[in-house]
Amino acid sequence: LSTGDMLRAAGEDADNELGQTAKGHMEAGELVPDELITGLVVERLAKPDCREQGWLLDGFPRTAAQAELLENALTGYEPASKEAPKKGSKIAPPPEDAEPTEPPPPHIPGLDLVLRLDVDDETARKRALGRRLDPDTGIVYHLELEPPPEDEGLNERLVPLTGAANQEAQLQPALAAYADGEAALSEWLSDLGILQQVSADVAADEVHAADRKSV
């Protein structure tokens, strides 16, 4: 499930308020607000196909807040505060002779694995700017890396993707927005023990092979 595709589909429906809000953010090269996109994902994961077959998300979570909201929706998990109680806290410390309490069982994350595909900005730019959508089938091609089949009708139908995926002016803020939240996201996923990094500066089939190995 690609969250970009889900948002584009919602944005095409003029009556879909959520989709219209998302469209504005996408066209500005911004990330869609965390609550909005996570709500959409959680709703989708509750559908029978996901419940029966499992699921794989593409492009989500993109921020630590999204990861936390999804984890909470899947397992009810609330991270323990890392802060020590403040001075003057009304919570009394346990008495000295109190029985030591059992540590809580380790948390089993709702996500099995997150693959982070690492790529430099220049490669990301080249890949993003060459993408074209066939509005009739929803298939996304890449002019250089995954060219559309020779078909006049198809070539005339192809349109640039909306938003950051296609326009240089929007791509830079999109890369910056991701870079801003990346450290906190990686820390959260590493703490849960579910983050694997894959070098994606190489050809697609090599990335696929590395992904398969990680899984």
Question: What is the closest distance, in whole angstroms, from the C-beta atom of residue 131 to ligand AMP in the complex?
Answer: 8
**Residue 27 buriedness (CB in 10 A; 0-12 / 13-18 / 19+):** middle
Return d(Cα 33, Cα 37) in angstroms, integer. 6
Q: What letter would DSSP give residue 150?
A: S
Is residue 174 within the footprint of ligand AMP (CB under 6 A)? yes
Min dist. Cβ of residue 102 to ligand AMP (A): 37
Tell whether residue 163 is a contact of ligand AMP (CB under 6 A).
Answer: yes
- Would you count residue 23 as binding ligand AMP (CB under 6 A)? no
Report yes or no: 41 and 192 within 8 Å, Cβ to Cβ: no
Query: Of 113, 1, 6, whose CA–CA distance to 58 is shortest?
Result: 1
Q: Distance (Å, rounded) from C-alpha 40 to C-alpha 19?
A: 10
Residue type, 175: L
User: Shortest distance, CB of residue 59 to ligand AMP, whole angstroms?
Assistant: 4
Site string for ligand AMP, 95-134 (x = CB under 6 A): ----------------------------------------
Q: In 3D, which of 140, 124, 131, 119 has the Cα closest to residue 210?
A: 119
Residues numbered 43-62 forming contacts with ligand AMP, rule: CB under 6 A: 59-60, 62
User: In this chain, which stretch among 23-31, 68-76, 98-106, 152-160 interacts with ligand AMP, using CB under 6 A?
Assistant: 23-31
- DSSP-assigned states of every residue in 79-105: PPP-SPPPTT-SSPPPPTTPPPPPPPP
CB atoms within 10 A of CB 35: 11
Minimum CB–partner distance for residue 176 and ligand AMP (Å): 12
- With respect to ligand AMP, which residue has the nearer C-beta, 65 or 154? 65
Tell me: does residue 31 bind ligand AMP (CB under 6 A). Answer: yes
Task: Give dist(CA 63, CA 42) in Å, integer.
Answer: 15
The answer to whether residue 192 forms part of the interface with ligand AMP (CB under 6 A) is no
Residue 162 tokens read as: 């909306």
Assess 189 for contact with ligand AMP (CB under 6 A): no
Among 26, 64, 69, 185, binds ligand AMP (CB under 6 A): 26
Query: Can you give the binding site for ligand AMP, defined by CB under 6 A?
Result: 3-4, 7, 25-26, 30-32, 37, 59-60, 62, 66, 163-165, 174
